[in-house]
């Protein structure tokens, strides 16, 4: 079965940037087109190529900066990096060096970033900022000795604020993908500052993130030994124990610590968070309510308690805390969002519409608008729903949001069996975003419902031209051919390639079963379909297994499974059709 599913300008380059902005603005007028490489500069903006620039070093630097800035504005990060690197070779200007450094880091060109950072630091004078960047880049390029030198200098220069420096070091090393290098460095730093509790805590934190739980516990215990009041170290130790499968011991120890230091707000809050992470919502709520008595207007506590109640499907308590947040004018978007979800569950659709309509900003805005679209379709009809989502899409500025809104509208129309309208929506999206794989895939599925197998095949093959290992496209193409009993050898090739890429996907496993059914290998078909059914007992998989069982003269099992399927999916057309075929 197929699945239904920036670069900123430096402020002190103002004269250059005014020119760049003016030229870029002109480039977007009538007749503009897509550009690549240096042609944007030499052909379309009538700027002389570098070989014709006057032999004045300052002019050469300006040329490189202009090219880099224009490339950056056009989203050509590699071209921007290349020309900023050339500019940096021609000048010791601190701002140019810093800009070149940041763009090299953005492009993950670590050797170039390290070289420009060295020059930037030497020109600017060493300070905590450039030492931090140098330390990070030395780690990323594998020079742990040089990184150690920079971080030791940071610690020495900090003197009375050394704990703040360890926080800075922690934030820096958390960015490093090569966790082992960070641990080697922290081991060296800890040896040279052995009595510093914060150093041991940072080491423990990095070890925990690297999955080295025994080391994390050891370092947390050392941190607690040097500072018995270091709550974060106590919490981290408990997390380590939990990771090692000793959850009950860990939580018992944490409960004892809270009991012994009942007025320690930070400790109880940490305990609450651990309980939430372990999905012990009832216990977490009890601890959070103790905290709330001390801080009755704490919006974070109110919000967290509300979500914990929601996790337990305790809708009325959750609703009470969320309404308290709304009355206090706190966390309005999140509160209205979850109040809407509660109203939906309680079948109060008018209240749900009202709350979703009040979500104005943030990461929940788009989801709210999509859910509001579905509610309008249910309460006022498809025209009102499409009017709403069309307006949201018109006002959207982010490409990924616009794509998601096209997908949502098309998906709504698909679910309402308005296939022709859904096809037009996806086609409209593809006019704006040609060859976008999600839109191509969605249009392919809806084309199948319209009997346009030529369009389905063209769209899925278009995806495979872009991404030959797209398992979903391979599976959908192979399944459709098999389902229509067409070109079964080709269908087999597509499905087997998808299965090799993702053998644990129940939709692909179902396709393997249905293909085997089509080619007469009924025993193999049953094995695949039973496995798919165990992973995802959906109507289509049930129907496929019913047909395979019936073909093997296992009518009693087939009827029993079909009746079970109809109980779970009473409106499914495929299962209803099978009921008529297999009375």
pLDDT tens string 336-349? 999 999 999 999 99
pLDDT at position 35 over 70:
no
Q: Which ranges constitute the DSSP H helices of 159-244?
A: 162-173, 179-192, 197-209, 213-226, 231-243
> Which percentage of the chain shows pLDDT scores above 90?
61
For the whole model, what pTM was predicted? Answer: 0.70
Of the candidates 287, 207, 281, the residue with the CA atom closest to the CA atom of residue 244: 207
Whole-number pLDDT of residue 509: 97
- Rounded to the nearest 10 degrees, the angle between the axes of helix 437-449 and helix 453-466 is 160
**Inter-residue contact 429 to 439 (CB < 8 Å):** yes
Which is higher by pLDDT, 484 or 246?
Answer: 484
Which is higher by pLDDT, 561 or 116?
Answer: 561
Integer Rg of the chain from CA:
31
Residues 83-99: what's their mean pLDDT? 67
Helix (H, G, I), strand (E, B) or coil at 396: coil
Whole-number pLDDT of residue 299: 94
Cα gap 514→521, rounded to integer Å: 10
Whole-number pLDDT of residue 81: 64
Which is higher by pLDDT, 125 or 396?
Answer: 396
Q: State the chain's mean pLDDT as an integer.
A: 85
Alpha carbon dihedral 447, 452, 457, 463, in 10-degree steps, equals -30
> Quick check: do 6-26+34-125 and 492-583 share a fold?
yes
pLDDT at position 328 over 90:
yes
With 0-12 / 13-18 / 19 or more C-beta atoms within 10 angstroms meaning exposed / middle / buried, residue 296 is exposed
**Inter-residue contact 284 to 308 (CB < 8 Å):** yes
Which is higher by pLDDT, 327 or 59?
Answer: 327
With 0-12 / 13-18 / 19 or more C-beta atoms within 10 angstroms meaning exposed / middle / buried, residue 162 is middle
Helix (H, G, I), strand (E, B) or coil at 93: coil
Whole-number pLDDT of residue 6: 39
Long-range CB pairs of 82-88 (<8 Å, 24+ gap) are 85/112, 85/116, 87/61, 88/116, 88/119
Cα gap 116→265, rounded to integer Å: 46
Of the segments 22-36, 71-85, 127-141, 496-510, which one has the largest average pLDDT value? 496-510
Whole-number pLDDT of residue 76: 64
Whole-number pLDDT of residue 29: 37
Scanning the structure block, which residue is given the tokens 């009997």? Answer: 451
pLDDT band at 45 (very low <50, low <70, confident <90, very high): very low
Which is higher by pLDDT, 225 or 99?
Answer: 225
Cα gap 26→20, rounded to integer Å: 10
Q: Cα-flanking dihedrals φ and ψ of residue 362, to 5°? A: 80, -175
pLDDT at position 401 over 70:
yes
Whole-number pLDDT of residue 28: 37
Whole-number pLDDT of residue 117: 79
pLDDT at position 124 over 80:
no
Cα gap 101→116, rounded to integer Å: 5
DSSP annotation string for 29-46: STT-----TTHHHHTSS-
**Inter-residue contact 437 to 463 (CB < 8 Å):** yes
Q: What is the CATH number of domain 492-583?
A: 1.25.40.10
**Inter-residue contact 47 to 27 (CB < 8 Å):** no
CATH topology of domain 6-26+34-125: 1.25.40
Whole-number pLDDT of residue 59: 60
Tokens of 318: 């959750």
Q: Domain residues of the chain, as ranges?
A: 6-26+34-125, 492-583
Angle at 78 between CA 75 and CA 84, to 5 degrees: 100
Whole-number pLDDT of residue 582: 82
pLDDT band at 61 (very low <50, low <70, confident <90, very high): low
Residues 182-200: what's their mean pLDDT? 93
Lowest mean pLDDT among 171-185, 372-386, 406-420: 171-185
pLDDT at position 52 over 70:
no
Of the segments 39-48, 228-237, 466-475, which one has the largest average pLDDT value? 466-475
Cα–Cα distances (Å) from 127 to 121, 175, 274, in that order, read: 8, 20, 38
pLDDT in tens, 489-541: 999 999 999 999 999 999 999 999 999 999 999 999 999 999 999 999 999 99
Whole-number pLDDT of residue 159: 64
Which is higher by pLDDT, 147 or 126?
Answer: 147
Q: Is 121 left (phi over 0), alpha (psi -120 to 50) or beta?
A: alpha
pLDDT band at 7 (very low <50, low <70, confident <90, very high): very low
> Which percentage of the chain shows pLDDT scores above 70?
84
């Amino acid at each position: 079965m197929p699945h239904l599913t920036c670069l900123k300008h430096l402020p002190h380059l103002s004269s250059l940037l005014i020119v760049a902005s003016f030229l870029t603005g002109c480039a977007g007028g009538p007749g503009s087109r897509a550009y690549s490489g240096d042609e944007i500069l030499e052909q379309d903006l009538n700027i002389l190529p570098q070989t014709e620039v006057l032999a004045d070093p300052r002019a050469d630097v300006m040329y490189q900066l202009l090219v880099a800035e224009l490339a950056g504005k056009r989203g050509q990060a590699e071209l921007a990096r290349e020309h900023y690197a050339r500019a940096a070779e021609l000048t010791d200007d601190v701002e140019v060096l810093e800009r070149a450094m940041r763009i090299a880091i953005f492009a993950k060109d670590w050797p170039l970033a390290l070289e420009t950072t060295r020059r930037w630091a030497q020109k600017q004078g060493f300070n905590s900022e450039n030492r931090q960047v140098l330390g990070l880049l030395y780690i990323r390029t594998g020079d742990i000795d040089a990184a150690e030198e920079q971080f030791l200098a940071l610690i020495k220069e900090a003197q009375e604020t050394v704990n703040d420096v360890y926080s800075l070091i922690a934030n820096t090393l958390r960015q490093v993908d090569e966790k082992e290098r960070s641990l080697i460095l922290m081991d060296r730093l800890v040896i040279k500052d052995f009595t510093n509790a914060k150093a041991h805590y940072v080491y423990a934190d990095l070890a925990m993130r690297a999955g080295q739980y025994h080391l994390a516990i050891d370092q947390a215990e050392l941190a607690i030994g040097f500072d018995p009041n270091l709550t974060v170290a106590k919490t981290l130790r408990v997390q380590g124990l939990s990771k090692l499968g000793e959850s009950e011991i860990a939580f018992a120890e944490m409960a004892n610590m809270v009991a012994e230091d009942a007025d320690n707000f930070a400790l109880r809050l940490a305990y609450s968070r651990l309980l939430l992470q372990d999905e012990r919502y009832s216990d977490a709520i009890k601890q959070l309510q103790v905290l709330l008595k001390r801080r009755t207007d704490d919006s974070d506590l109110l919000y967290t308690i509300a979500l914990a109640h929601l996790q337990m499907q305790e809708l009325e308590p959750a609703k009470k805390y969320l309404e308290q947040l709304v009355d206090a004018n706190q966390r309005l978007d999140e509160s209205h969002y979850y109040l809407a979800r509660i109203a939906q569950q309680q079948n109060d659709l008018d209240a749900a519409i009202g709350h979703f309509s009040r979500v104005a900003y943030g990461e929940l805005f788009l989801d709210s608008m999509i859910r509001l679209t579905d509610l309008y379709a249910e309460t006022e009809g498809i025209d009102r729903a499409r009017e709403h989502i069309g307006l949201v899409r018109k006002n959207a500025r982010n490409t990924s949001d616009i794509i998601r809104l096209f997908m949502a509208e098309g998906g709504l129309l698909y679910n309402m069996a308005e296939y022709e309208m859904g096809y037009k929506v996806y086609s409209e999206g593809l006019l704006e975003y040609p060859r976008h794989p999600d839109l191509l895939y969605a249009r392919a599925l809806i084309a199948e419902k319209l009997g346009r197998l030529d369009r389905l095949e063209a769209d899925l093959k278009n995806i495979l031209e872009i991404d030959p290992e797209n398992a979903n496209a391979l599976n959908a193409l192979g399944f459709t051919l098999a389902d229509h009993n067409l070109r079964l050898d080709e269908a087999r090739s597509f499905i087997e390639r998808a299965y090799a890429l993702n053998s644990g996907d129940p939709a692909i496993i179902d396709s393997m079963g249905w293909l085997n059914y089509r080619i007469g290998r009924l025993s193999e078909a049953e094995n695949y379909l039973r496995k798919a059914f165990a992973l995802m007992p959906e109507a289509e998989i049930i129907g496929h297994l019913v047909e395979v069982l019936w073909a093997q003269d296992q009518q009693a099992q087939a009827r029993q499974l079909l009746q079970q399927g109809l109980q779970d999916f009473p409106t499914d057309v495929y299962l209803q059709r099978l009921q008529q075929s297999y009375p």
